[in-house]
Amino acid sequence: MKTLKTLQSLSGLGRVLSKIAFVFSVIGACGCIAGIISLSFAESELIKLSGVTLHGLISEHIGADVKSIIAALSAWIIACAGEAVVAKFAELYFKNEQGAGTPFTLAGAAELMRLGILAIAVPVVCAAAGSIVRGIVAAIISAEKAADISIFGDSGNFALGMMFIVASLLCRYGAELAEGGNAK
């Protein structure tokens, strides 16, 4: 029973970390929206510090025009929203697992399988959708060149998703063994 207690503790930690990831994803999306709004005023003389405009600082430091950065931020909103979705599904899994008291249930295994598939699929779909939105926004606002801000990085989403899928199969096997033992 010591191992089950450890699993439940890790499940609680997973639930807390999922909540934190969800909050950070929402904050990231809101930050992108705030960035788009503030950058919309960047080329005007409204935001000026010691004779230097915000537009001048951004263009000089990043090497991209403000409109390109706005287009990139619009894509990042989609990426943050996707991460929020995955984090919420993870939180739901951990909550239900804690409620069941064991990861070895058929319902929990199915939920973990769904989480694994989402952890793989959502970032890929969001990257594709973000690239499309970025291109559309760049065309609408006539951005000069694309800002070098990629939303499809080398994160561990694929590996994490595969680990969830493998773990779901192990949990399903444990649930089937437990049901078979109870039937005997």
Helices assigned H by DSSP within 41-156: 54-62, 66-100, 106-140
Q: What's the rounded Cα separation, in Å, for the pair 10 and 5? A: 9
- Contact assessment for residue 87 and residue 22, using Cβ atoms and an 8 Å cutoff: yes
Question: Over the range 42-78, which residues count as b (16 or more CB within 10 Å of their CB) and which as e?
Answer: bbeeeeeeeeebbbeebbeeeebbbbbbbbbbbbbbb
pLDDT tens series, the chain, 184 aa: 798 899 999 999 999 999 999 999 999 999 999 988 888 776 655 556 666 665 666 666 666 777 888 888 999 999 999 999 999 999 999 999 999 999 999 999 999 999 999 999 999 999 899 989 988 998 898 877 665 555 555 567 888 999 999 999 999 999 999 888 665 5
SS3 of 62, please?
Answer: helix
- Contact assessment for residue 74 and residue 141, using Cβ atoms and an 8 Å cutoff: no
The tokens describing 124, both together, are 């890929």
- Contact assessment for residue 26 and residue 45, using Cβ atoms and an 8 Å cutoff: no
Any bridge partners for residue 122, and if so which? Answer: none
